[in-house]
Amino acid sequence: MQDRKNEKIILSLIRLALGQKNVHTFPDYADWDKVMSLMQNQGVRALLNEALEAIKRNNIDIKTFPLRMQIMQSYAQTVQVEKMYSRHLALAISIAEQWKQHGIKTIVFKGLAHSRYYPNPAHREFGDFDCYLIDAHGNCAYRQGNEMAREKGLVVDDGWYKHSHILYDNLTVENHQYFTSARRGGTDKALHQYMVQAIGDGTRLERLNGTELYVLPLEAEGLFMLYHSLTHFLVEGISLRHFVDWACWIKANQDKIQWKEFYSQCKRFRLDGFADVMNTIAVKYLGVELHDKSIFTDSKFAERTIESALYDDSSIYNRSKGQWYERLHVIGNAFRYSWKFKDVARYSMIGYVWQFVYGYLCRQEKTEIC
């Protein structure tokens, strides 16, 4: 019962942090230590400080406000997130400028790209810097980016087909050769090809705040966000931060998207069921107001998906047991949470596991694909 109260409190706090004004009261009792711990684990700890300021500013009725020490702790964590964001952003811009000198354009996606939709971008935590590199003709510059990094004396690990890891000061750069797990084939490979076609020669891409970082076209960005979040949901463990990312994206871009075409692409890449869930969470639980009433926001699996983020032990990372353990854990998650495949993703769990195993054990992709 207490977990349910904390869940409602956290969702209300996120709504406030995102600028929603239809939050008027809170439950009579709040375990603020638990709330703060959950928000930290869910990657949204900096939003707590924004929400507490909104409570004071809007004179919201709350019977158990956090203690002074808890408020100070929240503020300190927020400052820490802001400083890390500033450091990582500066490093991302720096390496992009160096790649530019070699005729390489840097396209950013995931965390840093998502941050521009937040009320305060510095409150969107991101650890790795995910990018896709192209040359002047729009060809993938994965290998050139790795070679330049090595010439600068940086440590480059390109042992995995999907992306390399480049250690740049205290920032881990993920230089992507693929947007998706293309080695599995099927819709994964098709979506990667769609992303590459959407980027084209790169001349129509928009800059991120006037920097040498470029962002994906909106439709491609939305499709990739759904794909990436769905992958986490199915096998790796999803978090509230994924829901907040989508809520901020759809709030900012709802009038810029041709939704009929977007839904058609979602269906093509088997993302339509998950899109319904994410839209429902954004509207019913995070307070986003949509102008286009044709957007479906009534998935019956939305609440269960939120509960999965908060309570399922499905994370495969940070276990220090090696890649093979992680891969076995992925398969275990698929069987443990098979409802996600049947009810949300709407495809065969067995088929997904087979693609996963086949991709790792049998398929060989040329590293020169880019």
Count CB atoms within 10 A of the CB of residue 10. 24
First to last CA, the chain: 52
pTM recorded for the entire structure = 0.91
* Confidence grade of residue 369 (pLDDT, cut at 50, 70, 90): very low
pLDDT in tens, 247-288: 999 999 999 999 999 999 999 999 999 999 999 999 999 999
Distance, CA of 47 to CA of 34 (rounded, Å)? 15
pLDDT in tens, 221-236: 999 999 999 999 988 8
DSSP 207-254: ESTTSSEEE--HHHHHHHHHHHHHHIIIII---HHHHHHHHHHHHHHT
What integer pLDDT is reported at residue 2 of this predicted model?
57
* Confidence grade of residue 61 (pLDDT, cut at 50, 70, 90): confident
How many helices (H) and strands (E) are present in the chain, helices listed first? 15, 7
In sequence order, the 6+-apart residues with CB closer than 8 A to the CB of 58 are 16, 21
Q: For all residues of the chain together, what is the average pLDDT?
A: 88
What integer pLDDT is reported at residue 218 of this predicted model?
97
Residue 11's H or E segment, with its range, is helix 2-17
What integer pLDDT is reported at residue 365 of this predicted model?
45
What integer pLDDT is reported at residue 134 of this predicted model?
98
What integer pLDDT is reported at residue 86 of this predicted model?
97
**Both tokens assigned to 60:** 């919201």
Place of tokens 């509960």: 307
Written out in words, the top-level CATH class of the domain with range 82-181+203-216 is alpha beta
What integer pLDDT is reported at residue 58 of this predicted model?
82
Q: What is the mean pLDDT of residues 238-252?
A: 97
**Both tokens assigned to 358:** 């086949």
User: Is 229 in contact with 282 (CB distance < 8 Å)?
Assistant: no
What integer pLDDT is reported at residue 346 of this predicted model?
82
CA separation, residue 238 to residues 42, 44, 148, 225, 295 (Å): 9, 13, 34, 12, 23
pLDDT in tens, 288-336: 999 888 888 999 999 999 999 998 765 645 445 666 556 666 677 777 7
In sequence order, the 6+-apart residues with CB closer than 8 A to the CB of 28 are 63, 64
